[in-house]
């Protein structure tokens, strides 16, 4: 089975992750750790829920499940009520905790669940009712979405991202997916984008892109933030709702000063996140 991360072992000693303690982790270590995690569960396809945080334990558990072909759902670690409701409704085989340096796989249900062979990801959406529902994505869905984003961002193995959004959020997960799929790297942090320490990490590790939702940019704009203070930045993406034209032009102008790009995007969980974008050359006609 070809999965989203099939073949990432080829990147070997290239840095995949800079973890929450600022330790560099290679693709080789990530793959070795991931394969060791799922060995005892390979006898059948498992439905796995991960209590997600922006840390290495979460990334390791997630990559392990994807490589093993286990359908996976990431749930906010702190949202116990939502997790309990989802467990009660969907009866996953395994729930993974990520509060320690290595994820802990807890077997909850030994029943063989009938899972489609192409089922890869479950993404949470409230829909119009406010109750949690799960969108099903196939291996083909998630790979095509990532490859499309990688192509129009011109992403390469030289790029480095940062977790400016929660990994359990579809947009935040997409950031992780595209970087690992292409052999790039990503810095893990739980810090808010309005925390000075976030931008110290950004500058220290020469992060090449920033991604945010409207609230992210509104908060930065209120602090007189300027991307020109972070010369490693190559491009910026915005999705997760409508950002005002004034704010779009404000940040696009900053980036244009250094020949960098601002991508305005639109996405729906049901079609995989980030399904369309405005080419940066048209932003000033927006």
**Which residue, 209, 230, 203, 202, is CA-closest to 158?**
209
Residue 227, token pair as written in the block: 């991307």
Same domain? For 123 and 190 the reply is no
Question: Which pTM value belongs to this model?
Answer: 0.95
Same domain? For 94 and 118 the reply is yes
In a domain, 147, yes or no: no
Examine the pLDDT at 129 and tell me if it is beyond 70: no
Confidence grade of residue 130 (pLDDT, cut at 50, 70, 90): low
CATH of the domain at 196: 3.40.50.980
Lowest mean pLDDT among 186-195, 228-237, 261-270: 261-270
In a domain, 160, yes or no: yes
Confidence grade of residue 104 (pLDDT, cut at 50, 70, 90): very high
Last residue of a domain, one of 140, 168, 199: 140
Same domain? For 164 and 119 the reply is no
Count the domains in the chain: 2
Last residue of a domain, one of 140, 164, 184: 140
Last residue of a domain, one of 79, 107, 140: 140
Lowest mean pLDDT among 57-71, 89-103, 222-236, 269-283: 269-283
Same domain? For 51 and 112 the reply is yes
Confidence grade of residue 126 (pLDDT, cut at 50, 70, 90): low
Same domain? For 89 and 174 the reply is no
Q: What mean pLDDT is reported for the chain?
A: 94
In a domain, 33, yes or no: yes
Same domain? For 178 and 132 the reply is no
Same domain? For 108 and 196 the reply is no
Convert the pLDDT of each residue in 159-182 to its tens digit: 999 999 999 999 999 999 999 999
Cα–Cα dist 123/106, whole Å: 21
Mean pLDDT for the stretch of residues 124-128? 65
């Amino acid at each position: 089975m070809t999965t989203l991360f099939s073949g990432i072992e080829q990147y070997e000693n290239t840095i995949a992750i800079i973890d929450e303690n600022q330790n560099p982790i290679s693709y080789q270590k990530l793959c070795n750790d991931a394969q060791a995690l799922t060995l005892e569960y390979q006898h059948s396809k498992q439905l796995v829920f991960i209590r997600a945080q922006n840390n290495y334990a979460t990334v390791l558990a997630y990559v392990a499940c994807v490589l093993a072909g286990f359908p996976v759902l990431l749930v906010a670690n702190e949202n116990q009520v939502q997790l309990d409701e989802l467990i009660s409704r969907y009866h996953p085989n395994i729930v993974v905790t990520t509060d320690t340096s290595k994820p802990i796989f807890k077997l909850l249900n030994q029943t063989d669940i009938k899972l489609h062979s192409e089922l890869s990801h479950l993404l949470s959406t409230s829909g119009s009712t406010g109750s949690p529902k799960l969108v099903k994505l196939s291996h083909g869905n998630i790979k095509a979405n990532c490859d499309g984003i990688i192509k129009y961002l011109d992403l390469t193995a030289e790029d480095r991202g940062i977790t400016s959004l929660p990994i359990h959020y579809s947009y935040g997960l997409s950031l992780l997916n595209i970087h690992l799929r292409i052999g790039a790297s990503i810095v893990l942090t739980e810090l808010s984008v309005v925390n000075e320490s976030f931008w110290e990490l950004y500058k220290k590790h020469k992060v090449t892109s920033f991604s945010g939702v409207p609230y992210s940019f509104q908060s930065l704009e209120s602090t007189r933030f300027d991307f020109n203070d972070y010369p490693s930045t190559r491009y910026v993406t915005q999705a997760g709702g409508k950002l005002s034209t004034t704010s779009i032009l404000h940040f696009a102008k900053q980036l244009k000063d250094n020949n960098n790009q601002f991508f305005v995007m639109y996405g729906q969980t049901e079609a995989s996140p980030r399904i369309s974008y405005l080419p940066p050359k048209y932003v000033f006609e927006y």
